[in-house]
Structure 1
Amino acid sequence: MADTHISVSAFARYRRGLVAAALAALVLTGCGGEARGGGTQAEPDKRAGSLTSSAQPGPEQAAFAAMLSTFGKKCPEPGRVDPRPTAGKQTGSEATASLAPGETPPAEPIEPGPLTGPAAELSDRDLCTSGHHEQRVVEALQEVADPTPVKVRKTLNSLGYIDEHIHGLQQDGTTTRFHLDLRESGGRLCVAGLAAGEESDASACVAPATGPFTVKTEE
């Protein structure tokens, strides 16, 4: 009986040792799993941080926004639209002022047509800021000889217009056409440009208030 008791006791101690070893292994495995899990979790956090930083405006975007704001401060508040002239009769001094020097006033009142195109659809702020952009763009492009798309983009970049807002650069013979997306504060302003040396030109156009940039064409 003593031998049997000793054998049973030894077996019990052996079994307890196996259980303890198994528990230790599980603990170590769990710690290792947590460490690996922590490493895996850090990657999404890091990627999320990168996405957040990329969503924030960089130096070029910030400078572009500041330029738009500078011009905007010289113009009416966003969304303001003064009454546009509509078809009607001009009489007296209005009719006389519209005549060229030496021209005889007509016997009947002059009836001007309503405004069309960008002037009829853009806000006063957009129309005002467009003038600032048009002037500086034309003056810069007049100095560009052989205005290829590459040269035109470089010139526009030097004025602060970033690539994300330059669209449709297309060479047409010896000239290059393009559009600038200048929408801000719910506005719809864009500028259509023609780089043609001394004959360079720029004029306001109408873009959607939101969404991808497109240019509204005349119907």
Structure 2
Amino acid sequence: MLRTTSMRTLQCVVKHKLMDVDADLRLVRVTPSQNPLSCEKGWFCPYLFASSRTPIIPRSQDFAIAQCFGPFLAGDYQLAHKLLSESAAVLSLCNPDPTVNIGVNRILVTFIGITPYRGGMWSSSRRPGAALMNFHLLNGCPSMVIPVNNMAPIVAWNPTTLASIKNPGFNPEWLHEQICEFLDTIISIKDCAPGIRANYVPALGRTASMVVNGALGLRNVQPGILKGLDPERAGIAFFRY
């Protein structure tokens, strides 16, 4: 399940009625920046930019998770539903089916890549009334779903990209810790599956490790399989639905 043998590209349209508003971004676990010139912490920003939600990421700060709390678009949930349905494997701590009301929101955690709609220019993805983008899913990167409380963001991302993961000095335990620590603050334990509630900590840890290990496996994938994927625009993202 953790061996990537193919990549699927989805061309998605997210409709909106926004007119260049600022995105409400909040950073988790902020520290002084080790490399102010690095762009990897904003790898997922083009999604917000394309939907007319201007993101501002301070270069002087590093962080574990970037969260977006608004403005909200119905397309955000529709995108989460689409990515969920197209995922090769889904590991769930609750019923992941969006047609089933479990009483709370859920978050999809998945490794994805993003590229512009056409021409390699992000300006081509920002259209009046719609964001047009390509999302890349890997069949060796499982997704996970957990029930969340009202503290969960609309979308979020970890600043570690595929380019960082391929670095020989990369520490996967650090990435796993960042993700688990964040998810532990937003998970709704009472809405987990009955067999998981009493032992949600190890269940959350093991499930998150599958997501991380799927991403680590991309270091050994043949280059032809990842053709068209930008390693600096690929990482672990979170989608509420």
TM-score by length of 1: 0.23
Give the structure with the higher percent strand.
2
Q: Which has the higher contact order (CA 8 A, sep 6+)?
A: 2
Larger Rg computed on CA atoms: 1
